[in-house]
Structure 1
Amino acid sequence: MYKQAEFEDDSSSVGSVQLAEGVSATSTHIRYHTGTTLWKARTLLEKGLLVLAALLALVVFILGTLLSVTSKQVSLLRVQHVDGRGPGDLCLTLPCVMVASSILESLNQHVDPCHDFYEFSCGGWVKNNPIPYEKSIWGTFGKLEQQNQLVIKNVLERPESEFASDAERKAKHYYASCMDANDTIEALGARPMLELLKKVGGWNVSGKFDVSSWSLQSALHVLQNTYNMGGLFTWIVSADDRNSSRNIIQIDQGGLTLPARDNYLNKTMNKKILTAYLDYMTKVGVLLNGEENSTRKQMQDVIDFETELAKLTTPLEDRRDDEKNYHNMSISALQELAPFMNWRDYFNDAMRHRSKPRKVSEKETVVVYAPEYLHNISHLIKEYNSTDKGKIILNNYLVWQMVRSMTAYMSQAFRDAYKGLRKVLMGLEGGDEPWRYCVADTSSVIGFAVGAMFVKEVFVGNSKPMAEDMINEVRDAFKRNLKNLHWMDEETRKSAEKKADAISDMIGFPNYILDPTALDETYKYLIFKSDEYFENNVRANRYNFRMSLDMLDEPVNRTRWGMSPPTVNAYYAASKNQIVFPAGLLQSPFYDIRHPHSLNYGSMGVVMGHELTHAFDDQGREYDENGNLHKWWNNRTIEKFKERTDCMVNQYSKYDLNNKYINGKQTLGENIADNGGLKAAYHAYLKWQAEHEEEMRLPGLNFTHRQLFFLSFAQVWCSASTDETTDLQIEKDTHSPPRFRVVGPLSNFDEFSKEFKCPMGSYMNPKSKCEVW
């Protein structure tokens, strides 16, 4: 289960790096420029652009002072200003000057674009945007997210009387409880968790636990079904992959605390991480009345148990074939497969928490994605469950999953306990400023109420139809290219065209959030109080569990969003054959209706193409136009497809950062989407360009608009991160690091080399290229 009920489990996002950074701390910003003046540090081209901007300001001033001249003169001057044309067809509107300045400042013109286009496009950005103290990764996604957070903060701090719905007032109450102006959280200290430990049956670490009356079955009922906590495995209610019109219970492997499976298995390489993890666990246990030496020993036992779980899990790169992963079975078959508990009793206990409780029979079907894992942990649990010491370890592990997930809602001492582990995992001890943390947390808990506030505040209405037009143009370009793919047989090609046509899109926000009655109905069971931060999160967990269970007997809601409107991201949902672009992303630098089309197609157009291509990546291709998982490709075409994906796996597996190689298998789907999205968006732009007048040039930039397309694409991924976060991303993320999201697709794309005149055999124009779509 998940904290945010709206989360889509089968989605593929564009991937602003989503690595949790823990709890907040006061921000300290690092100054960058030292030892030189800003003017001396600029290039001649930058100086020229700044002079040009100053001249534009002077022109505007002169226009303002000429209001007393004749009406004919004023009219002519106004036409010239509105049109924005300067000498030589330069665009001198303020948006053009500002975006040209932004592009210029991001460049490193000392680098040959054919040698390293990422460094050429982003070297200046990295130099001028050092990673803030409170961040482990910093890029264009993060900067835009911070702008959105400021908008949300200003709205959340308005008087309640200004809100249109109770749901928005609930968001304000939750935000207030997080900000904790009255220091209630500090005054309570460990009390909220100690009271919760009593309710779940106690914890041996804190000294109050009776092993003689404990059973695994009862513990799972309380911890997972009553309080929606994790451990041993994961399960959700979501669309059935083979029948996407209905919801079904889905069960998968899970239960590890550290972010990567290898953190447990490669003990030599990850000694610092495991040591920091044990220190973190011990500090939290001591804060909850544990004796330090005993706590450390018991927590080491928990780590040892998690290590055994890690051994039984299948690596991410080996779980990319959804047809092989999918196993539909009855509850009775599941019981035979994994007899470590009574599954029928477990799900019947869960169903008590629905709005309308019901029973589960032995014939009820579920989908199991990791049957081997569930079978193997049955043997592991049987071994531990056979002795009192083993039972204590099992309970310590399960309760630890609850404790660690709730420490962020407790006093500073509990939040500080995480600093050491955060440092070794991500390279920083601090976190966001408190208000930023609380805005993000409020958005994750009651996202569509926050989204309603955000949309009413900033979303430009005409962005939605214009974005819709761009999606259709990118889709048409993708379909036109299908005819050029000689490895596809005709029958599969026609089916692929049908699927592309069937992809639905949702842009900006769901309409219901602007209807106070409908929004209130969504959150009617959710109760928040301004001075109960810990309890608010207990309620949120239980609410999300209830909402998920209520979906079980309902048809799949294809208009349900998996990301809230302020989110700076996008996704494709395979079971719905749907692409979604929240309002938070439809802003500069990704999308601005005042910018040249070359920039919008290069940034937002590629994002659209990326999500659309996910429908045809190594996983998405297994789902048909209705979102149903089955084989609809010709065998020979599948073989040809795999030959091409093998090329891409090998290509990306040769890229390395920090002496660690990218996992080409783990990142395959995102790499296919990056490559296909670039190609579709570029050809959509070429068609637009052929049908319209040539756009005005941007001032200070000696680039054609086709070159600007590629620059816009590359600069979306300008970013920097700590070494630790880069390592973690390589281990865990299904997306390649930003550098290779630029270098990889462009080095495969002949049109890029043509526009930048990159010689054959150069780094950006290798002789051997990979192409799937």
Structure 2
Amino acid sequence: MKMEDLEQILPDRVGSLSGKRLILILGLLVGVLFVVCLTLGAVAGVALKNPPAPSISIPSGTWNEKMTAELKDAGVCMTPECMRSAAWLVSNLDQTVDPCEDFYKFACGGWQKKARLSPEISEVDVERQVEKDNELRVRELLDSPIKRNTERSSERKMKQFFQMCIHEYGRIKNGGQELLSLINDRVGGWSALDPNNWQGANWDMERALKAANTELRADALFSVTIEHYFSDDGNVPQVRYDGLTMFYRDYHDDDKSGMQDAYKDYMRRVGDLLLRDANLTLDASEHAHRIEQFVEDAYFMESNISRNIVKSYFASGAINSDSTVLLRNPTYFRLLDGLLRNESQSHVMKRVLNNYIVWRVLVEYIPHLSWEYRAASYRYRDARYGTSEYPATWDTCVYTLKKTMAPALAAEFLNVHVGKRKKNEVSDMMKTIMQSVNATIDGATWMDRPTKERAKLKMKAVTMTIGFPESYFEPRHLDSIHLALKVDISDGYIKNLYHLNSFRRELFTLELQSDDDYYTWQYILGVGGFGVIPWMFWTSNHMMVPAGALQAPLYVPDRPHALNYGSLGVTLSAEALVAISEMGRYVWTNGSFYDWWSDDSDEEYSTRRSCFLDYFDGAQLGPFLINGRNETVEITGGYTEAWRVIEYLAGLRNTYKAYKGHVMKSGEDEMPLGINLNADQAFFASAAQAKCYIRTDEAAYQQAVRGIPSYDTILNGALRHMKEFTNAFSCKKTSRLHALSNSTCEIY
């Protein structure tokens, strides 16, 4: 190793090692290199000529243990987590870039060179990679042997379903036959199988609609979710229009005729396959007529959707005449009621409704049928979205379990990959971050005293769910949640999928009636235990931190706090501060709508914000290579950019204060060997590297045109106004990101 190579891995910027410590480490490195050379020489000799291995005498209390102890005494972190984190951080840097000119490129340039986009993917970022890694971890867990193989075991039910789901041969063998049997049993049959003898007069539309929505989860005509209010009503059902595949405007937009044709072709192909799997003997003309009638009916209903039946959506007793139900789009349901009340008794209208409901069931179940059915949906998606990226079978299976067995799936992931230690450590870090908020509010000179006091009350009232409920470590509790779920491998895959979809009704009922925190359920049912992105429900003053975010490189125990505060802490802090932002100002501690900013504070804030607006207004984004030409996009107004930078800068500065408070209390971090940055610099680099991304020029251009600021714009825009960054990197006054006192914008 040459001296210049050593210089690349040893600190030489602000806060570098003292001379005595540097001499000690260099001496130890020389010893390491000497032994490594001897070892490599021995290995090479064995590989090439196989001579006797040289005898090397190592004294008791080996040099390796002694060297490790001396490095630790010198303030170097030698844990495996430290070394892996150092490798991650350094490999992502582009040290040819001056951090004071383009910090995003300095921090993420190395990552961008390594990252790859496949032809069907337009964007990749660190958080998405972590989520994908979490999904792979989940798949490995689902593939592992069943530990609790009992009739009641939620683990058994989940893993057995997964194995049936990924069994491609079973799908090919059965085609659509199992689904046809289910449609006949639960929906009252399909009129297209025998239109001349179909008993429309005896077909029960309400029974079919109930089965489609509650048992088959097809969301025909409407859908129901749970909404939370701070009133005595608590958790209440929310009913809204649904039952469409395309965006509602696309059915009537003349400019979308190509998309409409592609959608009808999708319906036609699926209908063809289903008639084939019904083993009917039809001539070509009759076959085509039945398919066209099916497509016409289903498309007609999707074009004219309206009405609501919700009473039987939940299990018995969940809703009664005194229950509060939130009805979205009431005009839509009045129109639907008129349509069905006047025409549903006619034979033709019953046939139309039957074909529509069957189609909605098909849309829900197509991802679980043989490849031919899925190929029809992929063809349509390609025409609609211009994408050829399709989920792997196992990915669809995990997604299905996430919707139907989220508690059990989350528990499996949490027990192996998170644990209580990570949750407790992140909770402690978040407490430190929240403690620094009062100082951040006190430093906000645009707030008058009454507004500051209300801001502190608002932040004090923020509630938080980090990771998971403790009950997820109790198998008996999980088994009790999934007690009503039946999974039996002798029933076949589609029948078991039906059981899972029916079980979602029980989960909805449990969510509605449970004493558990509503946001715990949002976490359980929404991200399945391994989501990554923390978010703030600013309308209800509650923050969610998914357990999937407690994974490397976002959070790693036993590594320097500077890295964890930077990578995960900044995101958490920025989300929490939304509670007192220009959005959070309109909601009070109890969730009621109330503008608690004073007029004077509002006026001063607007003045401060205009500084950020002026900074971005007229700036050029790009160039982007579009159709062989370099295109740029000019930022007009800069409102979105300013808002995002204000939000991120507040989180960055507040977290930096929290980290420095931790250092004051607990002392400086031991930094890993090889990081060419001091602790403060590593904090900023870690914050940046949590958001590294690459995207195609076309995707970047479309984002810019739509006014969606990229992370490099947000990061560099924030650091340009942060004196702490300028000091950490000793930026020259002439550098692009130097926070000049006479031109720095500041709110928090």
TM-score with structure 2 setting the length: 0.75
Identical positions, percent: 25
Displacement of 1:135 in angstroms is: 5.4
Counterpart residue type for residue 320 of structure 2: K
1:197-212 alignment, distance < 5 Å: 197-198=183-184, 199-202=186-189, 208=195
2:228 equivalent among 231, 235, 239: 239
Check whether the contact 1:235–1:250 (CA below 8 A) recurs between aligned residues.
yes
Alignment pair present for 1:466 and 2:425: yes
1:569 and 1:251 map into 2 onto residues whose CA distance is: 27
Alignment of 1:229 with 2:218, yes or no, is yes
Q: Deviation per CA, 1:410-435: give whole Å up to 9, x if none.
A: 11111222223444566653545444
Q: How does 1:2-21 map to 2 (within 5 A)?
A: none
Residues 513 and 288 of structure 1: is their aligned pair in 2 closer, same or farther, counting only changes over 3 Å? same
Q: Give the direction of change, closer, same or farther, for the CA distance of 1:47–1:705 in structure 2 (3 Å limit).
A: closer
| Amino acid in structure 2 at the alignment position of 1:608 | L
Among 228, 233, 248, the residue aligned to 2:236:
248
Residue 457 of structure 1 and its aligned partner are, at CA, apart by 2.2
Partners of 1:150 and 1:348 in 2: how far apart? 40
Measured against aligned partners, the alpha-carbon deviations of 1:639-692 in whole angstroms (never above 9, x if no partner) come to: 766787898899699868878899988999877654432232122223334445
Give the match for residue 14 of structure 1.
Answer: none
1:134-164 per-position Cα deviation (integer Å, ceiling 9, x unaligned): 8564332233334333433333333324569
Kindly provide the amino acid, as one letter, of the partner of residue 652 in structure 2.
L
Which residue does 1:482 correspond to in 2?
A: 441
Amino acid at match of 2:140: N
Counterpart code for 2:365 = M
Secondary structure of 1:720 counterpart: strand
What amino acid sits opposite 1:538 in the alignment? Y
**SS of corresponding position for 1:506:** strand
**Structure-to-structure mapping, 1:47-446, within 5 angstroms:** 69=59, 76-80=66-70, 83=72, 85=74, 91=77, 93-113=79-99, 116-132=102-118, 137-161=123-147, 166-180=153-167, 183-198=169-184, 199-202=186-189, 208=195, 220-240=209-229, 242-243=230-231, 246-258=234-246, 268=255, 276-289=262-275, 295=291, 299=295, 341=307, 346-350=309-313, 353-356=314-317, 359-360=320-321, 364-371=323-330, 396-423=355-382, 428-446=387-405
Corresponding letter in the other structure for 2:502 = R
Task: Report the counterpart of residue 517 of structure 2 in structure 1.
Answer: 557
Q: Give the Å deviation of 1:465.
A: 2.7
Unaligned runs of 5+ in 1: 1-38, 310-339
Counterpart selection for 1:541 from 478, 495, 501: 501
Write the distance in 2 (CA, Å) between the matches of 1:99 and 1:299. 56
- Given the alignment of the two structures, is residue 615 of structure 1 paired with residue 579 of structure 2, yes or no? yes
Residue identity matched to 1:142: R
CA contact (8 A) 1:247 1:556 kept: no
Shifted more, 586-595 versus 648-657: the winner is: 648-657
**Deviation of residue 187 (structure 1)?**
1.3
CA deviation string 1:623-654 (max 9, x = no partner)? 43344555555466567667878988996998
Partner of 2:690: 716
Question: Which residues of 2 match residues 524-673 of structure 1 at below 5 A?
Answer: 524-530=483-489, 532-555=492-515, 557=517, 560-561=520-521, 562=523, 563-574=527-538, 577-617=541-581, 619-634=583-598, 637=601, 673=647
CA distance in 1, matches of 2:535, 2:258: 35
Shift of 1:190: 1.0
Partner SS for 2:310: helix
The one-letter code matched in structure 2 to 1:118 is Y
Distance 1:478 1:369, change over 3 A: farther
Q: Any conservation in 1 of the 2:297–2:353 contact (CA below 8 Å)?
A: no
Structure 1 position 408, deviation (Å): 0.9
Other structure's SS at 1:138 match: strand
Amino acid across the alignment from 1:679: R
Cα distance, 1:753–1:261 mapped onto 2, change above 3 Å: farther
The separation in 1 between residues aligned to 2:239 and 2:67, in whole angstroms, is 67
1:189 shift after superposition: 0.4
Q: Does 2:652 align with 1:678?
A: yes
Q: Deviations over 1:549-591 (max 9, x none)?
A: 3444555635734144333333334576333333322122111
| Structure 1 residue identity aligned to 2:236 | I
1:440-480 residue CA offsets vs partner (Å, 9 max, x unmatched) = 54344323223322233233543333212210111122232
> What is the Cα deviation at residue 59 of structure 1?
8.7
Q: Larger deviation: 287-296 or 592-601?
A: 287-296
Q: Distance in 2 between matches of 1:59 and 1:587?
A: 37
- Which residue pairs with 1:499 in the alignment? 458
1:605 Cα offset (Å): 0.5
* C-alpha distance 461-511 of structure 1, shift in aligned 2 (>3 A): closer
Greater displacement, 383-392 / 130-139 = 383-392
Deviation at 1:745, TM superposition (A): 4.2
Q: Residue deviations 1:27-65, cap 9 Å, x none? A: xxxxxxxxxxxx9xxx9799869x999989769979999
Residues 73, 725 of structure 1: alpha-carbon distance in 2 compared, 3 angstrom cutoff: closer
Change (3 A) 1:286 1:693: same
Q: Is the 8 A contact 1:166 1:520 kept in 2?
A: yes
Question: 1:172: how far off?
Answer: 0.8
Number of residue pairs the alignment of both structures matches: 685
More displaced 10-residue stretch of structure 1: 69-78 or 663-672: 663-672
Change (3 A) 1:499 1:281: same
Sort the Cα spacing of 1:294 and 1:640 in 2 relative to 1 into closer, same or farther, 3 A: farther
Judging changes above 3 Å, is the alpha-carbon distance between structure 1 residues 558 and 347 closer, same or farther for their aligned structure 2 residues?
closer
Aligned to 1:35: none
Contact 2:239/2:328, CA 8 A, preserved across alignment? yes
- Whole-angstrom distance in 2 between the partners of 1:405 and 1:368: 24
Work out the CA distance in 1 between the residues paired with 2:248 and 2:696: 21
Structure 1 pair 385–54 and aligned structure 2 pair: CA distance change class (3 A): farther
Q: Quick one: structure 1 residues 107 and 213, their matched pair in 2 at CA, closer, same or farther if it must change by over 3 Å? A: farther
The whole-number CA distance in structure 1 between the counterparts of 2:100 and 2:646 is: 22
The 2-side partners of 1:121 and 1:453 are apart by 35
Of structures 1 and 2, the one scoring higher in RCO (CA 8 A, sep 6+) is: 1
Amino acid aligned to 2:317: K
Letter in 2 for 1:126: Q
Higher mean C-alpha displacement, 471-480 vs 451-460: 451-460
Give 2:469's match in structure 1, choosing from 510, 520, 537: 510
> Higher Cα Rg: structure 1 or 2?
2
Q: Post-superposition shift, 1:520?
A: 0.8
8 Å Cα contact 2:125/2:693 also seen in 1:
yes
